[in-house]
Amino acid sequence: MALDTPDLSRGMWANLFGATRNVSAYSDVQRSNVTGDATEYTLQFNAEYADSDGAFNTSNYTYTAVSTGKYLVTVRACFSSVASGHTTGLLKIVTSNRTHNFHFNPYNRANAAGVATLDAVAVVDLDAADTLSVTATISGGSKVIEFEGATATGPTVSTLEIVRVA
């Protein structure tokens, strides 16, 4: 199984860890002009491949833990319309207890078409009823950055995986 291809029935990481509680969410459309001018944007993972406990809300893009434990969180965020001035980026995995920061340079990550992809991984401690969401801020230019999405049958560009591992 390729790591960038989610198992549609259980989620990308579930088979590797034997996990039963997991979320595999993605963005199914492109969202335009979300950041670029230092606007903090909540990544809108509005569709799911899997959600074993019904714990992910596709309307407010927030996961609510059903039990206390350690969770492996992986995020793939794809941004387009990155220009030469967009040199500061911050992706955050925000939980009730702590924020995990991932700093990056969008312009250095971008290909010739101005598309930059960031992969972030963290093991987070969550208590029952704690929440988790993901935000991104890109600065140094105009608010022209797009958050890339796709359909379930096409290439999935931006994804969120949450698996309880302990």
Structure tokens at 87: 């040199």
> Based on the number of CB atoms within 10 Å of its own CB, is 116 exposed (0-12), middle (13-18) or buried (19 or more)?
buried
- pLDDT score of 4: 47
* Whole-prediction pTM: 0.87
- pLDDT score of 16: 53
Q: How many Å apart are CA 45 and CA 83, to the nearest integer?
A: 24
- pLDDT score of 156: 60
Query: Per-domain residue ranges for the chain?
Result: 14-164
The answer to whether the beta carbons of residues 18 and 10 sit under 8 Å apart is no
Q: Please, what CATH class does the domain formed by 14-164 belong to? A: mainly beta
Structure tokens at 60: 């407010």
Taking only the tens of pLDDT, the chain with its 166 residues reads 344 444 444 444 455 555 556 899 999 999 999 999 999 999 999 999 999 999 999 999 999 999 999 999 999 999 999 999 999 999 999 999 999 999 999 999 999 999 999 999 999 999 999 999 999 999 999 999 999 987 545 566 899 999 999 8
- 106 SS3 class: helix
